[in-house]
Amino acid sequence: MPEGPSLIYLREKLSPYTGKKVTAAGGYTDMPTAWLKNKKLLEIKTWGKHLLLRFATGTVRIHLMLFGSVLINKRKKVNASFYLHFGKDELNFYVVKAQKLAQPLDEIYDWRTDIMSKIYDSKHVRKLLKSHGDEMIGDILLNQEVFTGVGNIIRNEILFRSKLHPLTLIKNVPSAVLTILLKETKKYGKQFLQEKKAGTFGQHWEVYERKECPRDTSAIKKEITGKTKRKTYYCPHCQEKYR
């Protein structure tokens, strides 16, 4: 479920509950839940892969990690790690991490790096990249402080679409290529969201889980690259490694 665009979609599905009052809250999460009773859900926000449920006295931050899921007015057989009831309606969160945030969200989060944010600022991201010159582009794309909301699928797809090799050092990425990458990040994020909504997600991957490069039919490589312990899919033929 979770990369930045999935969270936007989730927020949309939960939006009817903004302004509604919580009648019960619980779950096996470590987070205390008693404080939520009779509180009105004021706002739902996201920061990358964080779902933020804001109440007057604090915010619930939910992370779906790899296995998380959310059901509205439905239940699984297993217990929810967190749930909220709004009268007859219920939101059930499974295998999620929930945490209470006390501070105002603007003090915690920099919205400029969130690829799905209205105020996403690619110039700012470019500036952040300067201090990571000796790291590899494939690694930095999963750094949530820099590319907030990018996950492994987005990472692989935008590297391919930018014809950029994951092992390229950030300082060696030509400025024009970086511009393309930043543009593709935003663009593919939008496409990801549209496909989620349309139910066609996964049908248009160009490199992720593909065997063959759609540009030149050469073999796609699948291996752990860089420091991040995640599988990288790339075309060694058309994704250039700049030195």
Minimum distance, C-beta of residue 142 to DNA, in the bound complex (Å): 6
Which residues are within 8 A (CB) of 33 and not within 5 positions of it... i.e. 6 or more apart? 25, 26, 27, 82
Minimum distance, C-beta of residue 57 to DNA, in the bound complex (Å): 23
Which residues are within 8 A (CB) of 4 and not within 5 positions of it... i.e. 6 or more apart? 46, 48, 49, 114, 115, 116, 148, 149, 150, 151, 154, 189, 192
For residues 42 and 78, which CB has a smaller minimum distance to DNA in the complex?
78
For residues 10 and 36, which CB has a smaller minimum distance to DNA in the complex?
10
Task: For residue 154, give Cα distances in angstroms to 32, 37, 50, 104, 195.
Answer: 34, 38, 17, 29, 13
For residues 180 and 233, which CB has a smaller minimum distance to DNA in the complex?
233
Work out the burial of residue 194: count CB atoms within 10 Å of its CB; fewer than 13 is exposed, 13-18 middle, 19 or more buried.
middle
Minimum distance, C-beta of residue 148 to DNA, in the bound complex (Å): 9
For residues 41 and 114, which CB has a smaller minimum distance to DNA in the complex?
114
Smallest CA-to-CA distance from 7 within 55, 60, 70, 94 is with 70
Q: Which residues bind DNA (CB under 7 A)?
A: 1-3, 6, 28, 48-49, 63, 65-67, 69, 76, 78-79, 81, 94-95, 142, 144, 151-153, 201-202, 208, 222, 227, 229-231
For residues 94 and 129, which CB has a smaller minimum distance to DNA in the complex?
94
Work out the burial of residue 199: count CB atoms within 10 Å of its CB; fewer than 13 is exposed, 13-18 middle, 19 or more buried.
exposed
**Tokens representing residue 58 in the block:** 């604090």
CA 60 to chain centroid, in Å, comes to 17
Within 10 A of 195 (CB to CB), how many other CB atoms are there?
Answer: 16
Minimum distance, C-beta of residue 184 to DNA, in the bound complex (Å): 17
For residues 18 and 152, which CB has a smaller minimum distance to DNA in the complex?
152
Minimum distance, C-beta of residue 241 to DNA, in the bound complex (Å): 21
Minimum distance, C-beta of residue 208 to DNA, in the bound complex (Å): 7
DSSP state, residue 171 = G
Work out the burial of residue 189: count CB atoms within 10 Å of its CB; fewer than 13 is exposed, 13-18 middle, 19 or more buried.
buried
Minimum distance, C-beta of residue 60 to DNA, in the bound complex (Å): 15
